[in-house]
Amino acid sequence: MPTEEKRSGTRTVLRLLAPYRGRLGAAGIVGLASAIVSLIQPMVVGDVVGALTSRTLAAGTLVLLVSLFLGDIVLRVIEMYLLGRCGALLVLDSRRSVVHRLLRAPIKAHRERQRGDLFVGAVADTDLLHGSLMMGMMNIAASLVLVVGGVAFMVFIDPLLTLVTVACLTVAAVGSVFVARQVRKAMAQNREAVGRFGAALQRALIAIGTVKVSRAEDREAELVLTHAADATAADMKAVRLQAAMTPLVNLGIHGSFAVVFTFGAARIASGALDTAGFASYLLYLFYMLTPLITLFTSFAQIQLGVAAGQRVEGLLDLPDERVTPTPDAVAEPVFASSVLEYDSVSFGYAEGKPVLKDVSFAALERGLTAVVGPSGTGKTTLFSLAAGLWRPGQGQIRLGGVDVASVDLETLRGRIGYVEQDAPVLDGTIRENLLYANPDATDAQIRHAVELAHLADWVDGLEDGLETKVGESGAAISGGQRQRIAIARMLLLEPDVLLLDEATSQLDAEAELALRKAVAEVARDRAVVAVAHRLSTVVEADRIVVLDAGRVRAIGDHQSLLAGDDLYRRLVATQLLPEATVLTAGRNS
């Protein structure tokens, strides 16, 4: 398992860095040049020491040494700039890919994951790719060049002294690699716990009103902070491991220096090594000090980046709802009509738990088709399937004779407008929300939709009109206003079929009456299908579909169903009788 995990981490790193081979190569060349310049410096210093001893120092040697120092500085600046730029592009490109994939992933993929975990992956994990992965990888590469080159020169100066030095450093290296692996595991646990913390906090903040009226602040805080404590525990484990790594590295390095000074002094005393050579050797060892520490600590740093990279890659592996066409997919379908038809459709969100069972009916091409039934019978699911948010397990949904599963989703959702049950609006202005489905709509079209949705008086009375901010999730406006904005947004799309999921549930009587008139007007030249809980909507429907336990129980108009279907009569009597009495009286007067 550890070997397979290591291979998986290596593959992740290679895949993430592959698009930047050219830039990394350029940075690597500059880094290699910098390392070579650094490796030459101790030899020149040795020459300077020897020349000073013999009093034969030439000005050219000093100029060369200063030039090497300055050249090294310039090369390091260029290298860090190239690496920093490459790392920033890695983060940007990763975030771009993750955002596109999250927004294009099917609804099922979102339901299977916590929002907070997705958010942490898109924000925090992508950020770690820069500091932990990109910089860690290049630090290791540059440090390896310096260490290997330094060892080579040290071997050239005194092989026996080098053997003793390397033996001391190997102990620190072995321990560091082991600790680095443990750090990686701890940080992976930390990221998972941070994801759970984010999801729990987001859950509480989204429902903050419910939390308060339920007096659940302390309970929610305890739940959220439990995940925070888990994240901290994993983080502290990593901190302890990293803290242990530093003295381990220092022990190896300090021990090496002690041995080098002792053994080197003996070598000088025996005549096997001269003073100039020992000076160069010590400089190489000093020059290796920072690369060695960087090399050991970068292993732990890279483990953070690899763990983050694997989480980012997990997001990028989410399916794309656009690239799962059916075998009979049609590039440019020809719709014979705008009739929406369900043919033997069955569907369940979980295996073995069907929500819809062999549902068959057709909505009118022009007119209002109402879908009614007890709660939990699959009414909203019908609309989600038609809009391509889910796909039927069995059967077909056809628009104008064309299976919607074979239609490009952009095309399908341009022809079917769906006003969801909770009528969500996005943070921004009223205008931005209205234009969300059709950004190219004209001011005249916007005004027409606003009037149809009975928003005109309210919008005209606002100081900023259509530029009024609605707040996060529409917090600055009422539920009824959110609902009408959502309806106007879909009206601007001018779809062939308009799906309204309890579109009048949050409207007062006056607004509902105006909206019913708007729906009736829209239904004159297109199909409108509405999930209805109010009799006022049902009575005016041209066709009514009664669902019960996921099956179509009956189809007809209000009068025929009232006379011939027991469930429909019970729905009218138990839920809608007061309105029925008023409407009947109004129609008879």
pLDDT of residue 305: 77
pLDDT of residue 58: 66
CATH 1.20.1560.10 in the chain: give the residue spans.
2-320
Q: What is the pLDDT along the chain (589 residues), one digit of tens a residue?
A: 344 444 455 677 777 778 888 888 888 888 888 888 888 887 777 677 667 666 666 677 778 888 888 988 898 889 888 888 888 888 888 888 888 888 888 888 888 887 777 877 787 788 877 767 666 776 777 788 888 888 888 888 888 888 888 877 776 667 666 776 777 677 777 777 877 887 788 777 776 766 776 777 888 888 888 888 888 888 888 778 777 766 766 776 677 778 788 888 888 888 888 887 888 788 888 777 777 777 766 776 777 777 788 888 888 888 888 765 555 556 567 777 778 999 999 999 988 889 999 999 999 999 999 999 888 889 999 999 999 889 999 999 999 889 998 888 888 888 999 988 777 788 889 999 999 889 999 999 999 999 888 889 899 999 999 999 988 777 788 877 888 888 899 989 889 999 998 776 666 777 677 777 778 888 888 899 998 877 777 888 899 999 999 999 999 998 999 898 999 988 888 764 334 333 333 333 3
C-alpha separations of 500 from 11, 196, 382 in Å: 47, 35, 11
- Asked if 5 and 118 count as a contact pair (C-beta separation under 8 A), the reply is no
Residue range 340-588 in CATH 3.40.50.10790: no
Tell me how crowded residue 312 is: count the other CB atoms within 10 A of its CB: 24
**Pairing mode, strands 356-362 and 367-372:** unpaired
Tell me how crowded residue 83 is: count the other CB atoms within 10 A of its CB: 24
CATH superfamily of 2-320: ABC transporter type 1, transmembrane domain (1.20.1560.10)
Whole-number Å distance between alpha carbons of 193 and 175: 27
Alpha carbon 503 to its chain centroid, in Å, reads 31
Measured CA angle at 356 (ends 501, 383), to 5 deg: 25
C-alpha separations of 507 from 335, 373, 468, 499, 504 in Å: 35, 21, 21, 17, 5
| pTM of the predicted model as reported, rounded to 2 decimal places | 0.72
Q: Which of 352, 355, 363, 337 shows the shortest CA–CA distance to 392?
A: 355
CATH 3.40.50.300 in the chain: give the residue spans.
340-588
